[in-house]
A and B are shown apart, each in its own frame.
Chain A
Amino acid sequence: MDLKIRNLRKDYGRFPALNGVNLDIRSGELIALLGPSGSGKTTLLRSIAGLEIPDGGQILFGDEDALQKSVQERNVGFVFQSYALFRHMKVFDNIAFGLRVRDRARRPAEGEIRRKVLELLDLVQLSGLEGRYPAQLSGGQRQRVALARALAIEPQVLLLDEPFGALDAQVRKELRRWLRQIHDETGHTTVFVTHDQEEAMELADRVAVLHKGDLQQVGTPDDVYDLPATPFVYAFIGESTSLPVTISRGQASLDGRPLALDRFDAPDGPARLHIRPQDVTIQSEDGAVLTGAVVGLRRSGPYRRADISVGAGHARIEALLPPDVEIAIGDRVGLAFSRSAVFPEDEKVLRKAA
């Protein structure tokens, strides 16, 4: 089942939660909606499920208009952030719930329900716990029950809201790998919401980055990391520092001095040059893109981080260097960038350019 989201809008009072979002979700893919809190990612997910009613736009399940259907009719598997397990029901009854509430014509026989629930429990590796109450399970186990319950109704699409948000780091990593495995086994079209970029990058086939109700970029983890489409994506995903530059006929210059960089495809005017710390290398001052002074130096895991003051202003660039690099605070060094990007200062100009 592929999903098409067309110009979806939703306002809460005055501020827009979704600002005309367009997104195509391919059948069978695992896609992450990534963004900080307030970015609209959860609103988008809940709109797909039918838990929120958008103010405008379209949601198509295949060719069917999903907005004409109620939550119940949409047949989506939704895994809630806090799991929303029914406390008064045992694990078995929680998973069986979606089958038992079907009308008589579509309800499987009790034996069939039992077979299916046990099969799902096996899938989520919780066999033998069907008689427990949710209160008697660990966080990770509850998460699995919530997933099994959502899968039981054979959903057209599986939606997960911050599925690992409430778990501690160790369990989170384990479940991440396991969710990918389940996805590959069952082949459901899966959309999950997260604010954790590492989780999105490791788990998803594609990542959709949202910011203030706007869809910033959709792409494979490689795309969004290596070729960020907007300054927000550059700043939000991975580490980066930026310098205020001026563009004139594709040539970037800092404080009036042209930088030895390839020409950028950007309009003339003020802009920001974004560089990731690991893309910075130290060389002699001759032929360097930029020169600067080392003002800070510290060890960071297997690397050494350096803060380098450049230009006439007090702009700084962070560099991630090998631990054996021979520099000291106060040294003047030359810098080269293996990769960089520039975006116009004014976001409105940017949106027009994009």
Chain B
Amino acid sequence: MKKLTRRRLEESIALGFMYISLGLVTGALGWILLTLIIKGAPALTWSMVSQVPQGGFYLGKEGGILNAIIGSLYLALGGTMLALLFSLPISLGLNVYIHRKAKWALIVRSILDVLWGIPSIVYGAFGFTIMLALGMRASLLAGIITLALVELPIMIRSMDEVLRLMPRDIEHASYGLGATRIETAFRVILPQMLPGLVTAAMLAFGRGIGDAASVLFTAGYTDRIPTSLMDPTASLPLAVFFQLSMPYPEVQKRAYGAALILTIIVLLISILSRWIASRVSRYSVK
């Protein structure tokens, strides 16, 4: 009887700690979002999202952060497109052209995991070094390339995980009709796995748009909206970072607003990708 109560006690203590942990984690999430909304929402005016910085902006005068919003979208879209260009063939290569159990596939996957783990500041420093070596200045293009490097391993590994789930029998049905691998890849595997692949790309996009360390030296920062790939560009994470370090409360308030906008974009993408993943596309075979 005594033993039993001790076991009960142990069970409730353990469970108690788990509830505390869970409370801490969800509490932190709530706290972060709440802080963001309370501080950021008042800064969200129409001029904030519709104007670029005007004269004296960094002293607290007129203007908005349209330059950073557009800049971030350009950077993340460009980076994602560029990464996609490589991710799709590489993940198809790993799943269609190279046998899954092959040693080479294992090596490539391990390297991709290693690349995924490299801190983005290292990519940033690397990108900057290459940029200088090529005689380029900080620009949208340099930012896009660096961001693509950050996103690449994330995207390939996620797509790899998606393609791994391709039903073999459907793939074989296509081979059975005399289709080649490339025909099967584009006509059968891609349509079948489309929702998962889109989710993978969006995941990488979300990662890219929030990444500050990689674009810190490579994309530059400017008040204007870039008109060419060679122009430097602002970005939302850096808008948060720079404006927060200004000594004027008016400018700091805009940092909160920028952070809120960035978070809304990231969360929207995260929710949207979840929704897409849960939806099987019309013709997918279950």
A and B held together in a complex:
no
Chain B residues proximal to chain A, CB less than 8 Å: none
